[in-house]
Amino acid sequence: MCGRFFVAVDDPELREHILKAEEESRQQGLFDLPPIKTGEIFPTEHVALIVAKDFGQRRYQRMKWGFSGFDGKRPLINARSETVMDLPTFRDLVRENRCLIPASYYYEWMKRPALKQSIKNIMRDPKSTTLYMAGIYRQEPGERVPSFVILTRQAARGIAGIHDRMPVILGREEQRAWLSKGADIPAILGRAMEDIMGMPEEEPGFQ
């Protein structure tokens, strides 16, 4: 799953996304919203996402993490990629409203029953300072900005010992395909990145 992720404000690539999303907000007349969040991101916070624009271009947009929960309480923050094409809640969104969620890394907790605690791990692409998670979004009643959820999948073999689920993380070619009209969604999901590395947050080199 993905319950939190991190956006480094000093990463030039991520900073560019944020500036473009803030400009988009101003063009829409949304002047009184708080700054787009950086650092550790929690559900319901606003972040900068990438969506498709006409003629294959990208648009950068502010969105809120999480759909309204079915019980009216906890937001729905993830959707299983294995069933997203079949469930009524998601199937139209995955055909029409796909997005990319840029991040430096995401967090996962590994349970340690013997220690009576969970270990917080940083999960990242070992070959890049950024990763792009696949998501879907919708406009909810009464909300000023769209809301999104992150698609998840079975964990890659190398990190399955930390958690049995992980976000769908896309490489460069799959990112372009994910935002394209007429995308072959099952094929793109099947090519999600496998090379993700996890390490406890307190380990050197992961700050």
Given a cut of 70, whether residue 82 has pLDDT beyond it is: yes
Q: What is the average pLDDT value for the chain, to the nearest integer?
A: 91
CA dihedral 38, 2, 123, 183 (to 10 degrees): -90
Contacts of 117 (CB under 8 A, 6+ apart): none
More confident residue, 81 or 72: 81
Which amino acid is present at 21?
A
Domain extent listing, the chain: 5-200
Q: What is the mean pLDDT of residues 103-110?
A: 94
**pLDDT value of residue 207:** 42
- For residue 15 the two structure tokens come to 């900073």
How much is the pTM? Answer: 0.93
User: Taking 80 as the threshold, does the pLDDT of residue 206 lie above it?
Assistant: no
Domain 5-200 has CATH 3.90.1680.10: yes
Q: Which two tokens stand for residue 85?
A: 């094409």
pLDDT given for residue 73 in this prediction: 77
Q: With 50 as the cut, is the pLDDT of residue 148 above it? A: yes
Tell me the average pLDDT across 120-125: 94
* Cα separation, 10 vs 179, whole angstroms: 26
Cβ-proximal residues to 17 (8 Å cutoff; 6+ apart), any chain: 48, 50, 60, 102
Instruction: Estimate to the nearest angstrom the gap between the alpha carbon of 59 and the chain centroid.
Output: 16
- Give me the pLDDT at residue 204, please: 44
- Structure confidence at residue 182 as a pLDDT band (50, 70, 90): confident
Sole residue written with tokens 């101003």 = 26
